[in-house]
Amino acid sequence: RGDVSEILKDRTIEDGQGNVLRYPEDRLDFLIWAMAQFKLCYPAGDGFGDGSDTHGGVANSKWIVPDLLPSDQPSILEFDDREALRFRFRFERFLPRHVLNMFIVEHYRDIHDGLAWQHGVHLESRAWAGTAALVRADYQERVLTVAVRGAHVDKYFNALYASVSKILERMPKLQHEKLLYLDEAARIDDGGKRGGVALQTEERGDRGAWANFDDLLAADAAGSREFVCRFGRYDLGRVLRPMPKREIRKLPMPEPASETRPVEGRSSPWLNTMLTFGGLGGLAAFVTGIVSLVGWFSSFTSLGWGITLVLTGNVVLIAVLLVIGSRSRDRLRQRFPRIFRE
The whole-number pLDDT of residue 266 equals: 45
pLDDT of residue 203: 37
Q: For the ranges 17-26, 72-81, 247-256, which has the lowest average pLDDT?
A: 247-256
Query: Residue 260 pLDDT > 60, yes or no?
Result: no
Most confident region among 2-6, 196-200, 228-232, 305-309 by mean pLDDT = 228-232
pLDDT at 241: 86
- Asked whether 209 and 182 are in contact (CB, 8 A), the reply is yes
Give me the residue spans of the domains in the chain.
2-64, 81-249, 269-341
- pLDDT at residue 194 in the model: 44
Tell me if 131 sits within 8 A of 149, measured CB to CB: yes
Q: What's the predicted TM-score (pTM) here?
A: 0.63
Checking if the pLDDT of 195 tops 80, the result is no
Sign, Cα dihedral of 161, 166, 167, 168: positive
Average pLDDT score over the chain: 74
Confirm if 105 and 40 have CB atoms less than 8 A apart: yes
> Poorest-confidence range of 46-50, 118-122, 202-206?
202-206
Contact 58, 29 (CB under 8 A): yes
How many of the other CB atoms lie within 10 Å of CB of 278? 12
Beta-carbon-side half-sphere exposure of residue 226 (alpha carbons within 13 Å): 10
CATH of 81-249, one of 3.30.360.10, 3.40.50.300, 3.30.310.200, 3.40.50.920: 3.30.310.200
